[in-house]
Amino acid sequence: MIYVAPNKVIHTAISAPGAGKTQALISQLPALLSAGRCIVLALPTKILSTDIVSRLPVGIDHYVINSDTCYPNPVGPELQAALGSRTNKLIITTHASIFSVPPNMLRGWMLVVDELPAVVGFPDFPFTPSGLDTLFVHTSERDGHLHIREGCDAAIETSLKIFRAAKSGAKQTSMLSEEGAKIFTCLLNGNPVFIGAKMDNGKRHVHAVEEYSHWKIFAAANEVHVLAANIDGSLFDEFAQVHGFTYTRSIFTPVFEGYNSLITIYPAMPKGRDYSKTKAEKIVGDIAINQYETIPFTVVDAILKAALQKTNGTPLLFSNDWAGFKWLNKKTVHVCSIDSRGLNDYQGETDAILLFGGNPSPADKRSLQYLATKYARDFRHAFAVTRLLEPSLQAATRTAVRVRGNTQPITIFVQDERVADYLVKTYMPNAVIDWSFSQITPVQPDGRKVEDPRKAQVFELFDQDMRNADIVRLTGVSRGSATNWKREWKALKAA
């Protein structure tokens, strides 16, 4: 028997968002299919299938397989059957679906992956004591890890089977939570699962490092193409190197002549300071959302409020769920998902506001340390590229900047210097970084309590002998703040 070495080459089409990578693929499909090639196109989300299908040349037979087209049946069996029969030479599916099939199903196929797939996960859940009791039925704790109890593998598999049946609507009841099912799955797959110390509220964090088996799929396919804005320095890149893959230029790489727009980038955080949830959630005052209720006003609230005063049209807003913005009239912005790949609905807008974080949590840091020890390499920068920098590039380029021929000025409010530099170093070399906006962000470099920007105005109103109730109505500060500040004002006057 002749031994055929597994495929260890990835053809990469690296170019800017909006440069035409997907169109370069579509335009070459007729020739490739006529030459007898069998092609699987894997998209990051099923929503993108409709757009791809609408752009296919007339007469191109295709088969879309995802959870919508297969409902109520599972995707896996139908996708495997299609790959095995090769009746359809062009299959359009999702990342999640193609990376769930047995690797040998990809033999004989050209696999085209649109956008970088996730190659490692860091699931992390806070478990209540009762939730932990459910886990400990089949696991034990040792050296900060959870381990499957001897002889309990089959019991865990049964628990997961019942959970999936109950979730699909079968008349079964499962005591397992979604989080518990994830942790059990990680344990069965041999992934390390860590358990943290008991917190004040009685909960304990359970987290895992979940390395995906995409590389077996890549090795089995006849040819692999990845279309992406950037690979260098990402988690995908790090793990490709770990698994011995090399890159070569893809035939689907489009020509990119650069963005034509005048781009101004406004970092929100002062130079040298990183944006983080801790800094963004710091309370700097309060704000009235109606005549009866006030809510805390945070640093991220102040950033957004100031940014909205400098934008035109309806800006795109990208933020984490923890930034509630209860005071915001959502009709004044387009609220967008942080994972904005394929979002092409707002190409007429010229402004984007990026207020999401991407720093590793304490659990993420422990997971990155585990990987560093396992592979003798540092994954921290790759984490930042994958979780913060690359999503920020994708978000910024959902605007009119991606439209060829656009000459309207583009304004992008970004989190900090890291993101601003990344945009300039990748696809916006002529952009201007303007630090003036960061000067009004209410943060102090020495970590002292941030002064509410309305305090000086309230002191002036006290000087005018205005009543507390009128000051609250005019400025939006809470009654408590007004009372406290009046004491401080009187003390200053008496000094």
Residues paired with 263 in a beta bridge: 410
Closest CA to 394 of 95, 119, 114, 124: 114
Is the alpha carbon torsion for 163, 168, 170, 171 positive or negative? positive
Share of the chain above pLDDT 70, in %: 96
Assign 3-class secondary structure to the chain.
CCCCCCCCEEEEEECCCCCCHHHHHHHHHHHHHHCCCCEEEEECCCCHHHHHHHHCCCCCCCEECCHHHHCCCCHHHHHHHHHHHCCCCEEEEEHHHHCCCCHHHHCCCEEEEECCCCCEECCEEEECHHHHHHHHCCEEEECCEEEECCCCHHHHHHHHHHHHHHHCCCCCCCCCCHHHHHHHHHHHCCCCEEECCCCCCCCEEEEECEECCHHHHHHHCCEEEEEECCCCCCHHHHHHHHCCCEEEECCCCCCCCCCCCCEEEEECCCCCCCCCHHHHCCEEEEEECCCCCEEEEEHHHHHHHHHHCCCCCCCEEEECCCCCCCCCCHHHCEEECCCCCCCCCCCCCCEEEEECCCCCCHHHHHHHHHHHHHHCCCCHHHHHHHHHHHHHHHHHCCCHHHCCCCCCCEEEEECCHHHHHHHHHHCCCCCEECCCHHHHCCCCCCCCCCCCCCHHHHHHHHHCCCCHHHHHHHHCCCHHHHHHHHHHHHHHHHC
The reported pLDDT for the residue numbered 449 is: 55
pLDDT above 90 (res 173): no
In angstroms, the CA 410 to CA 261 distance is: 7
Backbone torsions φ then ψ of 206, nearest 5 degrees: -120, 125
pLDDT above 50 (res 121): yes
Residues 371-417: tens digit of each pLDDT: 999 999 999 999 999 999 999 999 999 999 988 888 889 999 999 99
In angstroms, the CA 27 to CA 20 distance is: 10
Average pLDDT over residues 148-172: 86
The reported pLDDT for the residue numbered 495 is: 56
CA-to-CA separations, 440 to 263, 319, 327, 444, in angstroms, rounded: 21, 20, 20, 11
The reported pLDDT for the residue numbered 284 is: 87
The number of angstroms, rounded, from the C-alpha of 443 to the middle of its chain's C-alpha atoms is 26
> What ranges do the domains of the chain cover?
9-119+213-249, 123-208, 263-440, 455-494
24 neighbors 112 (Cβ within 8 angstroms): no
The reported pLDDT for the residue numbered 285 is: 86
Sorting pLDDT into bands at 50, 70 and 90, what band is 88? confident
CA-to-CA separations, 450 to 324, 417, 455, in angstroms, rounded: 20, 21, 11
143 token code pair: 């050296």
The reported pLDDT for the residue numbered 456 is: 78
Average pLDDT over residues 207-229: 94
Give residue for tokens 């790959």.
83
Average pLDDT over residues 349-355: 95
In angstroms, the CA 491 to CA 495 distance is: 6
The reported pLDDT for the residue numbered 388 is: 96
Average pLDDT, the chain: 89
In angstroms, the CA 144 to CA 37 distance is: 50
pLDDT above 50 (res 1): no
* CATH architecture classification, 9-119+213-249: 3-Layer(aba) Sandwich (3.40)
Residues 304-335: tens digit of each pLDDT: 999 999 998 899 999 999 988 989 988 999 99
In angstroms, the CA 413 to CA 15 distance is: 23
Sorting pLDDT into bands at 50, 70 and 90, what band is 460? confident
Least confident piece of the model among 62-71, 149-158, 224-233: 62-71
* CATH number at 263-440: 3.40.50
Least confident piece of the model among 260-264, 341-345, 397-401: 341-345
The angle subtended at Cα 477 by Cα 472 and Cα 478, nearest 5°, is: 85
Backbone torsions φ then ψ of 181, nearest 5 degrees: -65, -40
Quick check: do 9-119+213-249 and 263-440 share a fold? Answer: yes
In angstroms, the CA 211 to CA 189 distance is: 10
